[in-house]
Amino acid sequence: MATHRLDESAAGVYIICATPFTDSGELDLDSATRLIDFYIDKGVTGITILGMMGEALKLTPDEAESFLTTVLKHVDGRVPIVVGVSNAGIDNLASLAKISMDNGAAGLMIAPANGLGTDEKIYRYFCQVFDALGDRVPVAYQDYPLSTRSETSVTVFLKLVTEFDQLVMLKHEDWPGLGKVTQVRQMSLEQGVRRVSILAGNGGLYLPQELQRGVDGAMTGFAFPEMLVEVVRLHRAGEIDKAEDLFDAYLPIVRHEQQPGFGLALRKEILHRRGAIASSKVRAPGATLTATDHDELTRLLSRVERNVREL
């Protein structure tokens, strides 16, 4: 079992792991381990499971636990595993958190509850969460208002960082959010607040810009993890233009995957075509691809292939 612990130094690419199902909708643990190997083979630094794009809320708790333990056992410490545990009830959240950490997870990813409309509500929610988790469990804060309808100000985020040592990362996917990255970095410096890791989410749509503004990598799903890995590596090696050239070669697909809801069906189809999972099935309620969607994707993929060849 793993001994990684997520901390403020986290960097690189934590891929948001899809959850594979069979064509008939059963949890497909064979594909899960194959997908994990695929991700590790592509060079990811870590893997985040049971996130929104992992269809976590569509799994029964037994399935979630089964997926979780299978993945953690299969990874066997090769890379750190972060587990998404956001839940409508804090007891449920704490319960999945315990199972995760007991099985060797490196940390948790938690988004604010839905529809928290003020800084106070955000703050109180996370006080309750951290209180339920205890202070030894590392947490990545998922800031994704398009989905949660809860916006997090830089002020309240830094207040939480100041008060809770276990908050070690910002998974940044506010939109627009480039200015927020800069503000978190600047205000941390000015106020002497502990520097946390920031990883870019949002499908990586603005990854080059975010790297230039101070994020440490990406925590997002994309069907070509090797692109994310290489973009982050090049950027850190100072090859900023080369990083962005590579990113731009894939941008048509990044953008295509970025369609809310529908994008997950596309991502799973690409993973399927690449041999990483047996079926592109998305559980209900979820999108399915038409013949037109398939042809369109084929065309986009071949164009990106050409782009990459020509780099």
Q: Which residues bind its own copies (CB under 8 A)?
A: 25, 55, 57-62, 87-92, 95, 113, 117-121, 124-125, 128, 132, 145, 149-156, 175-176, 178-179, 182, 205-206, 209, 212-213, 241, 244, 248, 251-252, 255-256, 259-263, 283-285, 290, 292-293, 296, 300, 303, 307
Buried b (16+ CB within 10 A) or exposed e, 29-60: bebbbbbbebbbebbbbbbbbbbbbbbbebbe
Identify whether 112 is preceded by a cis peptide bond (ω within 30 of 0). no
Report which DSSP code applies to 209: H
Min. distance of Cβ 277 from its own copies in angstroms?
A: 18
Query: Closer to its own copies at the Cβ: 43 or 252?
Result: 252
Name which of 128, 146, 138 is nearest 97 in CA terms: 138
Query: Closer to its own copies at the Cβ: 45 or 202?
Result: 202
Min. distance of Cβ 222 from its own copies in angstroms?
A: 14
Query: Closer to its own copies at the Cβ: 175 or 273?
Result: 175
Min. distance of Cβ 131 from its own copies in angstroms?
A: 9
What is the residue whose two structure tokens read 């992992």? 54
Query: Closer to its own copies at the Cβ: 8 or 119?
Result: 119
Task: Work out the burial of residue 121: count CB atoms within 10 Å of its CB; fewer than 13 is exposed, 13-18 middle, 19 or more buried.
Answer: middle
What is the residue whose two structure tokens read 């064509």? 23
Query: Closer to its own copies at the Cβ: 36 or 113?
Result: 113
Name which of 240, 1, 5 is nearest 108 in CA terms: 5
Min. distance of Cβ 180 from its own copies in angstroms?
A: 10
Name which of 208, 205, 141, 132 is nearest 171 in CA terms: 141
Query: Closer to its own copies at the Cβ: 69 or 307?
Result: 307
Report which DSSP code applies to 27: B
Report which DSSP code applies to 53: G
Min. distance of Cβ 107 from its own copies in angstroms?
A: 21
Min. distance of Cβ 286 from its own copies in angstroms?
A: 9
Identify whether 20 is preceded by a cis peptide bond (ω within 30 of 0). no
